[in-house]
Structure 1
Amino acid sequence: MTTLKRALLLSVHPQYAEAILLGTKTVEIRRQRVAVEPGIPLILYGTSPTKALLGAARIATVEVGHPDAIWELHHEHVGVDRVVFDRYVQAAPEVTALGIEEPITFAEPIPLARIRRALEFRPPQSYQYVSDSFVRDLVLRYPVAKELTKLMTESR
């Protein structure tokens, strides 16, 4: 068993976070390159109006390519239609497709206001890396986040 040094914290619109956690959206698209390796834990932050950590998953695959190529490969798994996809990736020369597996919904969301009372935390605009110490602090303060411990310590 090895301990991972970081996790990827993604800000996601609540409806897409819910689809990821339900397993109906298994690919998340980002307009910029995301330098992450498969196997790394993923923490989902639901943006406004939810403003809470909602669950976790694991990055299964990472692909970077032209938006049209990524659409051809993953359109059945991105959770949006072509019009929404094209609007999101507009003018991006390349996008990152993050394959997602092992979604875990927290027993209860961890609201931003609660996190800020205990930890220095600012939700990312798109994504940020968080250390294992951030995750340990989160788990110690919020038992509903215990599921993260498994993702952070499982060897892949």
Structure 2
Amino acid sequence: MEQGTHIQVKTNIKVVRFGGRDLIPSEVRLRHLQQLVEESEDLYPGIDVWFRRKVVPELKSRSLRSALVLYDGAEPVGAAVVRRDKDAKLCSLRIREESQARGLGSLLMSLVVAEIRLNRAEEIHFTIAAHMWEGAIGEFLKRYGFEFKGLAKTQYRRRRKKMLPLFDSDPEFACSAPFSAVWRNVEEKLSEGFENFTLNGSFGDIDILLSIRPKFARQIVKGEKRVELRRRFSEKWRGARAVIYSTYPERSLVGEATVEEIITGAPDEIWEEWKDDLGCTFEEFSEYSSGKTQMYAIRLGAVIAYAVPIPISQLEFHVSGNLPVPQSYVNLKKQSKWQSALKWGSILSANR
């Protein structure tokens, strides 16, 4: 390696979601969430009781309560608890201090807002101690359009006798914002931190989108098909990272792969060399290569299958517009709407 050359290694942040439509959380995940929530015990004595009596039963009953936990490796570094409704509530939001400068706050807010949007929220509200609203946390929240609305009707800390001396000087504020305003600000800040990490091992630097028929797309993500055929392709995509689009009727992103090698040759040469990796019959191959004197065999590697396919319709909903999909492939670096969609894809895949 040449002196002075730097290779940026992105941190993979794992996102675990539970509550609502998902499976009941494991006890280990609940303990991690509890640890992060209870780090606010000095500000909210009794928050442990709220967590045990309210949060845990509602998460286990698949109610409108949801929770998200961020992991850096095995270490939980951030968490949020929300109630998903038309008048949604941000119940708890925490990023550990050592991780706050890495863009994880923006990531967690994006995850929260994507979660809330599924329930067609009209407003998001929360309560916060006055000194926090006037400090760094408040400045962070104001960037998303939240505003002070007055003293909170319920002063949770006033219920605790040892907090009474603080009430007059540090009451709890009620803050809120229209969902549309928060959404707009999340979209503007969506790229913050994405240069530093990937989510759940996927949606890193994607270069191209490959359109592949559902049968063959499934074979690729299952590891049954290692070579994809194209009548036209470019050598410049060697080493590129591709997202795999399963065409009609699925119309979904199903995984990722790296273009490891591009081999050109006459159709009979390509078939003889790669027939065991193409995932198709000789009849299918002959039909596709009919009339061509040269074919492209694209050897794929480092395949990641998404846990749940992401429908293009969901991405279009989040970017508020149509996403053009090609018959063969497209350079995503030149597609600004697709760049935004991939970031939302990362968020959506993490929220599943």
TM-score normalized by the length of structure 2: 0.38
1:35, distance to aligned residue in structure 2 (A): 3.6
1:14, distance to aligned residue in structure 2 (A): 0.6
1:140, distance to aligned residue in structure 2 (A): 3.3
Amino acid at match of 2:290: Q
| Ranges in structure 2 where 5+ consecutive residues have no aligned partner | 1-6, 9-194, 196-203
Instruction: Determine which of 36, 41, 61 is the counterpart of 2:236.
Output: 36
Distance in structure 1 (CA, Å) of the matches to 2:236 and 2:306: 23
Distance 1:134 1:61, change over 3 A: farther
Q: Deviations over 1:111-133 (max 9, x none)?
A: 11112223351111111111196
Distance in structure 2 (CA, Å) of the matches to 1:6 and 1:35: 17
CA RMSD, aligned part only?
Answer: 2.4
1:93, distance to aligned residue in structure 2 (A): 1.5
Q: Is residue 206–residue 243 contact of structure 2 (8 Å, CA) maintained in 1?
A: no
SS at match of 1:53: strand
Amino acid at match of 2:323: F
Instruction: Determine which of 51, 58, 62 is the counterpart of 2:258.
Output: 58
1:97, distance to aligned residue in structure 2 (A): 0.6
1:29, distance to aligned residue in structure 2 (A): 0.3
Instruction: Determine which of 298, 313, 319 is the counterpart of 1:98.
Output: 298
Q: Is residue 41–residue 56 contact of structure 1 (8 Å, CA) maintained in 2?
A: yes
Instruction: Determine which of 49, 54, 65 is the counterpart of 2:249.
Output: 49
Q: Is residue 7–residue 130 contact of structure 1 (8 Å, CA) maintained in 2?
A: yes
Which fold has the larger relative contact order, with Cα–Cα distance below 8 Å and residues 6 or more apart in sequence?
1
Q: Is residue 107–residue 144 contact of structure 1 (8 Å, CA) maintained in 2?
A: no
SS at match of 2:323: coil
- The answer as to 2:340 corresponding to 1:137 is yes
Q: Is residue 228–residue 298 contact of structure 2 (8 Å, CA) maintained in 1?
A: yes
- The answer as to 2:323 corresponding to 1:121 is yes
How many equivalent pairs are there? 146
Q: Deviations over 1:24-75 (max 9, x none)?
A: 1000000113343322101111111101111111111001111111111111
The answer to which structure has the higher helix fraction is 2
Distance 1:32 1:136, change over 3 A: closer
Distance in structure 1 (CA, Å) of the matches to 2:277 and 2:348: 28
| Ranges in structure 1 where 5+ consecutive residues have no aligned partner | 147-156
Which residue number in structure 2 is paired with residue 152 of structure 1? none
Rg comparison, structure with higher value = 2
Q: Is residue 64–residue 95 contact of structure 1 (8 Å, CA) maintained in 2?
A: yes
Distance 1:145 1:99, change over 3 A: farther
Instruction: Determine which of 84, 102, 106 is the counterpart of 2:284.
Output: 84
Q: Is residue 6–residue 129 contact of structure 1 (8 Å, CA) maintained in 2?
A: no
Which residue number in structure 2 is paired with residue 111 of structure 1? 311
Distance 1:94 1:69, change over 3 A: same
Q: Deviations over 1:81-116 (max 9, x none)?
A: 111100111001211110001111112211111122
Q: Is residue 12–residue 47 contact of structure 1 (8 Å, CA) maintained in 2?
A: yes
Amino acid at match of 1:130: L
1:138, distance to aligned residue in structure 2 (A): 3.3
1:136, distance to aligned residue in structure 2 (A): 5.4
Q: Deviations over 1:123-153 (max 9, x none)?
A: 111111111966753343232557xxxxxxx
Q: Is residue 39–residue 60 contact of structure 1 (8 Å, CA) maintained in 2?
A: yes
Amino acid at match of 1:99: R
SS at match of 1:103: strand
TM-score normalized by the length of structure 1: 0.82
Distance in structure 2 (CA, Å) of the matches to 1:83 and 1:70: 14
Amino acid at match of 1:118: H
